[in-house]
Amino acid sequence: MSYTCPSCKSENIQKSTMTHVSGISKTKGVGIGVGMSGGPLGGLGAGIGVGKATNQTMLSQMTTAPKISSPIVHALTTWILLLIASILFFFAIGIGIAVVLDSTNMGEIPVSIVRVLFGLSVIIVIVFSFWGAYKAYRKHDLKNKETMTAYDEQYICLRCGNVFRITQP
Ligand SMILES: [Zn+2]
């Protein structure tokens, strides 16, 4: 079965991934620079720089791969935010309990109970923040896979330049 461009019905189409890679060429260059600076002492400096330049055809630029954001970064950000939020939450509860005890004159809570409550809140904070981070990782990992699949199924018409998607069965 042959695929055609949905816009001009041309069979002269190419996969975006192929077009993109074949249109890139890398060149290396060496440059020498001399610089002068003002000020009371003045100065003259020279430098040699080796640079890489990437030449890309228009067609290649049109079929550039989509930007993928790292799921690790999203997971880490979520983890830190949830950690701060849940610590503040338990901190507020702690202050609330202290204020209530103080106003009702019920006296102090035994140290052993305070320790247990503190330990429990630490466990909840850890479990909650890691669970959130895992959820964030899964969500972005899935999104990235969908984006890459869409790019993998993307074609460009070499006749009219139309970019379209052919979903593989
Ligand atoms: Zn076309």
Encode pLDDT of 105-130 as tens digits: 766 778 888 899 899 999 999 999 99
Distance 15 CA to ligand 1 centre (A): 13
Give CA–CA dist 145/143, Å, rounded: 5
Residue 136 has pLDDT above 70, yes or no: yes
For residue 99, what are the contacts with CB-CB under 8 A and spacing of at least 6?
none
The pLDDT of residue 45: 62
Give CA–CA dist 43/33, Å, rounded: 14
Residue 73 has pLDDT above 60, yes or no: yes
Residue 39 has pLDDT above 60, yes or no: no
Distance 164 CA to ligand 1 centre (A): 9
